[in-house]
Amino acid sequence: MPAARAFADLVPTEGNPVPPGGVTQLVRTADGVTLRTARWPATAPERRGSVLLIQGRNESIEKYFETVDDLRRRGFAVCTFDWRGQGGSDRVHRANLCHVESYADYDRDLDAVVRYVFLPDCPPPHFALAHSMGALACLRAASRGRVLFERMVLLTPMLELSRVASPRMRTVRAVARAGVFLGLDDRAISRKPWEKWKELHPEDEPRQAKASAVFRAAPQLRSGTPSIRWLHAAAMAMREAARADFRAGIRIPSLLVIASRDNVVDNGAIERFASALRSGAPLILPGARHEVLMEEDPIRDAFWAAFDAFVPGGNDHPLPDLPSEDVENTVV
């Protein structure tokens, strides 16, 4: 039984209203976790397809209301969801830590949303816009042929952690392995790296303040510090993504967005990864920090100009089929 059950309602706050015309839906994954999803139709007269908006760690649908509106005005229908353990989805840890047994848990989440909401209810062609932890999950799905997006835009993907707010990756992996071996895997990791990240990513800018206001108004949307098991799962997933065969499996044209002032993930790892893809390219946004979509208008405008140039739409695209694995999910 989950530590706290999923709920479907979206939470408006002052200055951050729920975009009109949306539909929320609870979806159950193959391993029995219930996720909160939401989708909206496009508002522009010219319909260009659909975007699956994939969040990072400790985020919720409410944080991206402005982005939903930005995409709808561009002619895209939008689907988004909360990962297990955050937002309005099932909480899977008794202490409300950010926790998964392995990154395969996130694979199941993405599979369920794509199969039961995005493909059947959002018109093609299909695109992905994914951030950080969610971008790594998106790359895993693409490498294994589990999604058939036309194109992917990956914001500051979590391929390695930055040395500014984290030890070397080999140290991270060693600490995580030791914690799991000692049976401490459901304990919180040290808070110091995350406190340092907060200092490096101030919340006094308007969009950061608005995102923080959502959690103050609805604390039930916030997830806790990552567990040691989560850190181990993330470290193993990042190590897998560094392999040549992982990159070789990605054939979807991909734009990997690098924030020049990112102190959370390692920009060099993103640039190397993008350069090694068959059909991928890096884009550096000068002055941007990790959460590009929470930045000031000039940086966001530069991002949206790149997005508009990279993500074309069209209407003559057949609905793709997914592999049959993990399809026991049901709509709740």
Is there a domain that residue 209 lies in? yes
The domain that contains 308 carries what CATH number? 3.40.50.1820
Is there a domain that residue 47 lies in? yes
Predicted confidence at residue 3, as pLDDT, reads: 72
Close Cβ partners of 17 (under 8 Å, ≥ 6 residues apart) = 65
Is there a domain that residue 328 lies in? no
Is there a domain that residue 12 lies in? no
CB 161 within 8 A of CB 186: no
Is there a domain that residue 330 lies in? no
Is there a domain that residue 17 lies in? no
CB 71 within 8 A of CB 147: no
Three-class SS of residue 302? helix
87-111 pLDDT per residue, tens: 999 998 888 888 999 999 999 999 9
212-223 pLDDT per residue, tens: 788 888 888 888
Tell me: pLDDT of 124 over 90.
yes
Is there a domain that residue 321 lies in? no
What single string gives the DSSP state of each residue in 166-225? Answer: S--HHHHHHHHHHHHHTT-TTSBPPSHHHHHHHHHS-S-SHHHHHHHHHHHH-GGG---P
- Residue 19 per-residue DSSP state: P
Is there a domain that residue 3 lies in? no
Predicted confidence at residue 202, as pLDDT, reads: 53
The Cα 305–Cα 278 span in angstroms is: 23
Q: How many structural domains is the chain composed of?
A: 1
Write down the residue that tokens 């916030």 correspond to: 222
131: nearest Cα among 162, 108, 155, 111 = 155
Q: Which domain holds residue 259?
A: 23-312
Q: What mean pLDDT comes out for the span 254-271?
A: 95
